[in-house]
Every structure is written in C-alpha cells, then in structure tokens.
C-alpha cells in the first residue's frame, strides 16, 4: 500500500473517532480532599485490633500456653521468630524453645507483637535477624 494513502486513511479514522467520542473525558470527582498518606495513617492508627506493644507483651507473657515455658526460663532472654507456616517460635537464650500454633490466641498476639515491633523498629533482637525480644 502506498504510504501517502495509508497516512490519509489513518487521519480519516482518527477524525471519525474524534467526532464519535466525547471531546472531554468525564472527570473523576474525589469525594474527599485528603491525600493517600493521610488515609493510610488513618487506617493504620485507627485499627480496632491495634494494641500497644506493652499490652501485647502482657497478653503473651500471661497466656496459659506460655506460663510453663516462661517459668522454666525465668531470668533468660526470650525472643519471638515468625515461621513460614504462620506459627511463632518462642526461643530462650538457653536454646530452649516452643512453637505457638497459628490457631492459638497467643500466636495471634505474638504475630501482632512481631509485626508492630518490626514496623516501629522497637524490640529488635540485635543477635538474630527478623526476631524480636519479648523479654530481655
């Protein structure tokens, strides 16, 4: 095909589309005049399941699942590690450990403690990557 004729056909097609389609696309109205950052902060700060680190620490250390483990390891540093299956390993500085199963309430609190500590940069275990200190 001749390039001049092809260019003409393209121009004609473009003109037809311009006449068929509206000249101004419909505008999207923003019902709120707030920014993404402020919305994100609102969501993060007002989460109903959001608890303080100290509250979570108290709930974890007072849970019946951990009472025996913590009594055997009193005076030792206790850290938490998240495992790939959603469970949490509770590790003593002596090497003793136990695993909290994902379906347990203590595991849910431990996961929230881990996530909140990591995001805030608090309670990070200096000797173990991706681990936080529960006691010590």
User: For 67-101, what is each residue's pLDDT tens digit?
Assistant: 999 999 999 999 999 999 999 999 999 999 999 99
Q: Mark the ranges of the chain whose per-residue pLDDT is less than 50.
A: 31-33, 46-49
pLDDT at residue 13 in the model: 81
pLDDT at residue 20 in the model: 81
Cα-based distances in Å from 134 to 10, 103, 108, 123, 129: 69, 20, 14, 7, 15
pLDDT at residue 30 in the model: 52
Q: How many CB atoms lie within 10 A of CB 126?
A: 7
pLDDT at residue 11 in the model: 83
Q: How many CB atoms lie within 10 A of CB 74?
A: 9
Domain boundaries, the chain: 53-135
What's the predicted TM-score (pTM) here?
Answer: 0.61
Task: Report the C-alpha gap between 67 and 89 in whole angstroms.
Answer: 15
pLDDT at residue 111 in the model: 92
pLDDT at residue 47 in the model: 45
């Amino acid at each position: 095909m001749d390039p001049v004729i092809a260019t003409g056909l393209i121009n004609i097609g473009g003109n037809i589309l311009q006449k068929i389609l509206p000249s101004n696309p419909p505008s999207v109205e923003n019902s709120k005049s707030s920014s993404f950052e402020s919305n994100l902060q609102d969501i993060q700060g007002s989460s109903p399941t959001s608890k303080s680190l100290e509250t979570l620490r108290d709930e974890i250390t007072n849970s019946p699942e951990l009472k025996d483990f913590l009594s055997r390891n009193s005076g030792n540093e206790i850290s938490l590690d998240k495992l790939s299956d959603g469970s949490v390993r509770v590790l003593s500085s002596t090497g003793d450990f136990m695993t909290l199963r994902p379906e347990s309430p203590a595991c849910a609190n431990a996961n929230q403690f881990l996530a909140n500590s990591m995001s805030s940069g608090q309670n990070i275990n200096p000797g173990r990557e991706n681990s936080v200190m529960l006691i010590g």
